[in-house]
Chain A
Amino acid sequence: MFVIIKTIHSILKVLNSETHPSQLAAGVAFGLLVGLTPFLSLHNLIFFLIVCLFRINLSIFFLSTAFFSLIGWALDPLWDKIGYALLVNFKAARPVWIELSTGAIWPFFRFNNTIVIGSLAAGLVLFIPIWIETVILVKLYRRTLREQIRESKFLQILKATPFYTWYDKYQTLRQKFGLN
């Protein structure tokens, strides 16, 4: 419950902040890339460094990674099929695959694995649409839903629960010790 409240609180806090929508959208999109593909892959280290280097919202990135990891795990058979089609049936791209599996360093990325390449390809295809869509949705939220949610019964009830009271005390303590 504590985690749920913290998660909802974080999402709302970020959404209600002045963070630029594209930073939030980049967090969701990179979370999609890392989440859909097998977690312990070398390319994910590079994505993580990119996320750290640029002003991409880290909270949203981690939340998005956790969310898409579940989806990615459930869709493994689909990634396997897509990956097999790309690696074996899509002969036009074969020189690229051969280079990726024979060149120096590249083999460590395991792009010859059907699930790695299948999920990565799906992630890359969805990357831009998800980014744009998230930007639009954040803007829409801030313009129309922010005030409604702030005064919604759900949020009022949530604030009335003892869990929220504990969470509020926890946040106050964090602020007191300068951890926020």
Chain B
Amino acid sequence: MIIRLKVFIPVVLVIATTLIISFFFIDFWVKNWIENGISAVTGTKTDIRDLKLSFKNSSLKIRRLEIASKEKEFENFVEFEDVVVDFQTLPLLKKRFVIDEFSIEGIMWATPRRTSGKLLFQKKVDEQPSWISDLKNEAFESVKNEFEKMPISKLSEFRIPNDPREIVSSLDLKSTDAYKTVIEHAQELKTKWPERFKEIKNTSELEAKFKEAKALVENVPQNPQEILKRIEGIKSVIEFFQSEQKRVEGIIHDVKTDSAKIQADYDLATQALNDDFNRAKKLVSLDELNVGNISRILFGPEWLQKIDQVLKYHQMLRKALAKTEKDEEVQVRQRAKGRDIIFIVPKKQPSFVLAKSEFSVKSLDRGQKNLVTQIYELSLRDINSSPKLYGKPTSVDFKSEFKNAVIGGAEVQLFWDYTKEIPVDKYKADVKKIAAKSWPMGVPQYFPLRLSSGLANAATEFHFVGDDMKWLTKVQFSDVLWDFDNAPKQSIFFDLLRDVFSKIKNFHLDLELKSVGEKLDFNVKTDFDSAIQSALTAAIDKKLDEFKARLKLEIENRISQVKTQAMNSVTQYKEEVEKRAQNYLAQLTNYENETMKLEDQLKKRSQNAVQDKIKEGIKDIQKGDNPLKKMKLPF
């Protein structure tokens, strides 16, 4: 016989028995599955005291769900008293989990644990990039890097020094060298010019020549021819003076050129002095620190970290719900082994659906039912595991009120539409009466500024359409007090900030992150930015100006010796060389003029002598003897 019932029947019996026994253990398995599932997400131990799954009533009841705190080993982060899930049984046959109603009763925060909340074996989660698109991820990284490059360490380390000598000593004064160059050039010229002056005649020679000319005018003979000879002698003296004059004028031209050069050197040295002073000023100025972005430094880095976390969760959500292959008729989901293909057809339904659920939860103070400290109202709509199959967008509305907590109340509206090709996310939250001291701000070590008291009301809107996003958060702070306890003690910058901030009690903060093309734009604005900037600048400038005056004096003292030496060299050069050349020229011109006068004298005398001769000749003609025949006329 081909059938082997002897083996088949026992095997079927074993399998059936196993299934029946398994059915009794299903509560235990579901409990473990939920505990491990939540632990995998939170990274801490999750405990369920009791779980009852009833297929008859189609309900899952979880009693006391404890999620351990990450920070404190023997404390729960949150504890839910009762969680009730009403589901549909028939869809389970189609491997679908459809929830009709879901409710939570009683939430307690920070309750003590009996056992350690640490996980023995924790799955290491790889660091995920916080953006879906690589380009956007790069843009976000560049925004984060901007804060790393910010000169916040300079702000806390900034000091106005007492001793200007320290600053001047740290500078390599360029003006000293420049003035030394002036002196060197003047020295060079001083050795050059005596050589040049050797080219011109001695004043005694000039005097001798003039005397020579003078001698020609004395004891002038009556003979015109003799006079003419003397005139020729004077002319040669004049020519001598003229040639000497030309040479001296050439020398004077060269003197002036050198003088202009040395003056230019001196001007350069003066410019170098100004440059040195400006460099010294920069060392003690806040210009490069850009105090205009105080609110960006104060609120930006911490907020950016929060954004990073939110974007990571958002990316996980997108990856889980919005990823599709090119073929739009199917969705492909990567599994540990192979890929699951989900067919997008009207007949197909998501494997998990929570169509609608509205409930309120009360949080009790240490489990005492009469002490309600928090109330939560939650409305869930169309939560599902495959939005494209389900075809409806998902929304979650959440409202809460708190007593004696870090926030007074919150209203949160979450909406995500992943049903179409371009996914859309809209998150909106209004949070009232936030304890200002809990607001994330400051930069540890460098800018450890916080708020010690006061309240804040925040409104935030986060829109994501495809890869384009805009996240705007507006916060109104009131009655705040600033905490400078961890700020550096001996820092003029923080001393000034303390004074300025003590006057700021109410202010408005805008934090905006938006994508512009492939880039991200992160803006942080407060209404105290300009006030802080002007107050800080004025206070620092006043102190700096006093110091700068001392600094200028110190620099001038340092270079005064060399500067005076350079100035003297220039003056000396001008006095010695220029004056000498000018005096010589003046003397020469004088001699030349005097000699020319002597020439004129002689010319007149020769005229007179000629006239006398003519008169005598006329007389001789009248007497019969013509003397003109014997006479050679000079004209």
Contact = CB atoms under 8 A, between A and B. Distances in A.
Interface string B317-336: 00000000101001010010
B7 to A, nearest CB: 5
B93 A104 contact: yes
Interface string B388-400: 0000000000000
A115 interface: yes
A175 interface: no
A110 B127 CA distance: 31
B314 to A, nearest CB: 28
A52 interface: yes
18 contacts: A49-B11, A54-B3, A55-B1, A76-B337, A79-B338, A87-B330, A87-B341, A88-B330, A98-B348, A101-B343, A104-B93, A107-B95, A108-B95, A112-B342, A113-B338, A114-B341, A115-B337, A118-B338
Nearest to A118: B338
Nearest to B5: A53
B437 to A, nearest CB: 52
A106 to B, nearest CB: 8
| Chain A binding surface SS class | helix
Contact of A104 (B8, B94, B337, B345): B94
Interface in B1-58: 1-5, 7-8, 11-12, 15
Which 5 A-B residue pairs are closest in the complex by CB-CB distance?
A115-B338, A107-B95, A104-B93, A114-B338, A53-B8
A21 to B, nearest CB: 15
Contact of B339 (A52, A80, A105): A80
Nearest to A89: B327
Given A101-B348, A102-B348, A102-B349, A49 B12 contact: yes
Interface of B: 1-5, 7-8, 11-12, 15, 90, 93-96, 325, 327, 330, 332, 335, 337-343, 345, 347-349
B4 A103 contact: no
Nearest to B12: A49
A37 B95 CA distance: 21
Interface size class of A (residues with CB under 8 A): 20 to 34
Contacts of A55: 1-4
Nearest to B6: A52
Given A55-B4, A102-B94, A114 B11 contact: no
A141 interface: no
Interface in A57-110: 58, 76, 79-80, 83-84, 87-88, 94, 97-98, 101-105, 107-108, 110
Contacts of A49: 8, 11-12, 15
Contacts of B332: 88
A169 B184 CA distance: 115
A101 B8 contact: no
A116 interface: yes
Nearest to A111: B341
B327 A88 contact: yes
Contacts of A79: 338
A75 to B, nearest CB: 12
B94 A94 contact: no
B337 A98 contact: no
A112 B341 contact: yes
Contacts of B341: 84, 87-88, 97, 112-114
A45 interface: yes
Nearest to B339: A114
Contacts of B15: 45, 49
A113 B335 contact: yes
A31 interface: no
A49 B14 CA distance: 11
Contacts of A98: 343, 345, 347-348
